[in-house]
């Protein structure tokens, strides 16, 4: 039996789209901007770090990061993110969304600058300090996942809630583009100012001493947009759902939302006190009642995010094939260090513009029309189809004449990841759990995703190596080959499609209706 909704929450559910919705998207989305900017930049900068710190006299090819160092530089940020998602997700339910929200941003700003200032002249010192700051940068970014999603879902109205949460996530697209454009600008400036011969002409002179500033400037720039929104994060009021349903302060919730919505709202403290003692609002995360009501939902959100990120983060494997296919990245020895940064950044920006960014905004446009379930199912379905289409005739795609077809199918796979589960796995956990556990459950779901990302980024890096050890990349053992790795990814996407059936549809329903917080009974 459902009870009447609190008036302050009703007002939020039916509010027209207003200016504060858009400011909330930008303020909440800045963490994702930084996240995507950082992930994008490090892939550009690792090539340069290899040339600067791992140059071997007389080697035929430029220096590259050894596999263990490369894994550490990329992996520590993912591990930090996973830890941050669990910790700040829990803290956001304990202390409130607003109190914790500024801390995550401050951590990102400090650690972005710290990453660029990595100290020392020898490779060990620079890599150690870079890894240290990247872990804590990831920790801050991780905290932003549950907090931003929860804040946006609790601020939004029923009608356009999906689009607003997806728009926060879609700020990653702007982060990727900004990272690409900034890397292109910086490398162009340095290339013009400090001209150098190609590696094969003069190995030592091909990396000018000033190249060490290039990666540092690119990495540090990510702190600026985050720092600009810090003040506005502190000014945001606590969400009414947290204040009323968790902190049990109806008067404060009504006051805060009266200012935001610019209407008078009755506080109804008596109703909050009645709700507080209902069985639906007393069970904890590790209780049988949670397991009965939301156990399958949590399994659905964690498993789909885990499986999606395995496929999504494995894309790094195929980037070098793609770039060579477009013909934009010649062999490393034919370029100098800064030219290589320019060419990689240009190629990655093109891929982002063609497939990644449009996918995000397709989700924003259609999520409240098609629903979360349909978009996620469709996304996983097409990712499965395209992965198999790449895998089974893989030898056909490796011929030079067919490379463009490979690029198109590859781009479509990641278009449907973004117009599909990459966005919906972020949106749904912020809508289906009770207010007092919402941030924690979102953090758990996101952390499962990051565990998948670690499997995708590293497991597949080893798995996709050539079966013949002599042909595998330097320092790696023999694997199962790219073709078999793609087949495995196709199966992973298919499993994602099956687990999607555990996730309920939340389109057009109030958060309290989804989480059943207003119910008198504990019976179904």
**Could you please report the per-residue DSSP string of 418-480?**
HTTHHHHHHHGGGTSS-HHHHHHHHHHHHHHHHHHHHIIIIIHHHHTS-SSGGGSPTTPPP-S
C-alpha span between 36 and 174 (Å, rounded): 8
Is residue 522 over pLDDT 60? no
Question: pLDDT tens-digit profile of 376-392?
Answer: 999 999 999 999 998 88
317 confidence band (pLDDT: 50, 70, 90): low
Question: pLDDT tens-digit profile of 224-234?
Answer: 988 888 888 88
3-state secondary structure of 2: strand
Counting residues of the chain whose pLDDT is more than 90, the rounded percentage is: 36
61 confidence band (pLDDT: 50, 70, 90): confident
In this predicted structure, what is the pLDDT of residue 370?
94
2 confidence band (pLDDT: 50, 70, 90): very low
φ, ψ for residue 2, nearest 5 deg: -90, 145
In this predicted structure, what is the pLDDT of residue 524?
42
Task: Report the pLDDT averaged over residues 444-461.
Answer: 90
3-state secondary structure of 251: helix
Closest of 30, 36, 46 to residue 461, by C-alpha: 46
Range with the poorest average pLDDT among 257-266, 354-363, 508-517: 257-266
Q: What pTM did the predictor assign? A: 0.90
Helices (H) and strands (E) in the chain, counts: 23, 0
Task: Report the pLDDT averaged over residues 498-503.
Answer: 95
512 confidence band (pLDDT: 50, 70, 90): confident
1 confidence band (pLDDT: 50, 70, 90): very low
In this predicted structure, what is the pLDDT of residue 275?
60
Range with the poorest average pLDDT among 28-32, 238-242, 520-524: 520-524
Task: Report the pLDDT averaged over residues 3-7.
Answer: 67
Is residue 437 over pLDDT 50? yes
Is residue 271 over pLDDT 70? no
Is residue 202 over pLDDT 80? yes
523 confidence band (pLDDT: 50, 70, 90): very low
- DSSP class of residue 244? I
In this predicted structure, what is the pLDDT of residue 79?
94
């Amino acid at each position: 039996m459902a009870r009447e909704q609190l008036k302050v929450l009703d007002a939020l559910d039916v509010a027209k789209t207003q200016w504060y919705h858009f400011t909330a998207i930008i303020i909440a989305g800045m963490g994702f901007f930084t996240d995507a900017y950082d992930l994008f930049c490090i892939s550009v900068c690792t090539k340069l770090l290899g040339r600067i710190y791992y140059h071997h006299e007389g080697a035929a090819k430029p220096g590259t990061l050894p596999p263990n160092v490369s894994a550490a530089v990329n992996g520590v940020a993912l591990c930090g993110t996973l830890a941050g998602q669990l910790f700040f997700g829990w803290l956001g339910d304990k202390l409130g969304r607003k109190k914790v929200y500024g801390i995550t941003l401050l951590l990102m700003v400090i650690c972005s600058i710290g990453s660029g200032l990595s100290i020392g002249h020898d490779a060990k010192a620079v890599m150690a300090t870079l890894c240290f700051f990247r872990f804590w940068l990831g920790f801050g970014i991780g905290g932003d996942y549950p907090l931003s999603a929860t804040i946006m879902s609790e601020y939004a109205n029923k009608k356009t809630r999906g689009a607003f949460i997806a728009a926060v996530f879609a700020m990653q697209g702007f982060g990727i583009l900004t990272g690409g454009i900034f890397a292109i600008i910086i490398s162009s400036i340095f290339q013009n100012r400090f001209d150098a011969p190609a590696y094969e002409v003069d190995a030592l002179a091909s990396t000018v001493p000033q190249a060490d500033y290039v990666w540092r400037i690119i990495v540090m720039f990510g702190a600026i947009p985050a720092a600009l929104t810090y003040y506005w994060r502190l000014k945001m009021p606590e969400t009414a759902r947290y204040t009323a349903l968790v902190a049990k302060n109806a008067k404060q919730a009504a006051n805060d939302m009266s200012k935001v919505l610019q209407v008078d709202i009755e506080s109804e403290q008596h109703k909050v006190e009645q709700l507080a003692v209902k069985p639906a609002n007393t069970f904890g995360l590790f209780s049988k009642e949670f397991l009965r009501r939301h156990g399958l939902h949590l399994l659905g959100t964690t498993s789909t995010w885990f499986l999606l990120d395995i496929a999504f983060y494995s894309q790094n494997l195929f980037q070098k094939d793609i770039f060579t296919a477009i013909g934009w990245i010649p062999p490393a020895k034919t370029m100098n260090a800064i030219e290589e940064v320019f060419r990689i950044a240009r190629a990655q920006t093109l891929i982002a513009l063609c497939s990644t960014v449009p996918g995000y905004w397709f989700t924003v446009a259609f999520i409240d029309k098609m629903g979360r379930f349909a978009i996620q199912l469709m996304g996983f379905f097409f990712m499965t189809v395209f992965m198999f289409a790449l895998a089974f005739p893989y030898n056909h795609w490796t011929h030079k004449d067919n490379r463009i077809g490979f690029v198109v199918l590859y781009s479509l796979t990641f278009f449907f990841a973004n117009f599909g589960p990459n966005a919906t796995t972020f949106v749904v956990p912020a809508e289906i759990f009770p207010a007092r556990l919402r941030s924690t459950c979102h953090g758990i779901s996101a952390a499962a995703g990051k565990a998948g990302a670690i499997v995708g980024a590293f497991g597949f890096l080893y798995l996709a190596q050539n079966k013949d050890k002599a042909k595998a990349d330097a320092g790696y053992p023999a694997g199962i080959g790219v073709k078999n790795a793609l087949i495995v990814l196709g199966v992973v996407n298919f499993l994602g499609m099956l687990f999607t059936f555990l996730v309920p549809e939340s389109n057009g329903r109030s958060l309290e209706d989804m989480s059943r917080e207003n119910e008198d009974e504990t019976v179904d």
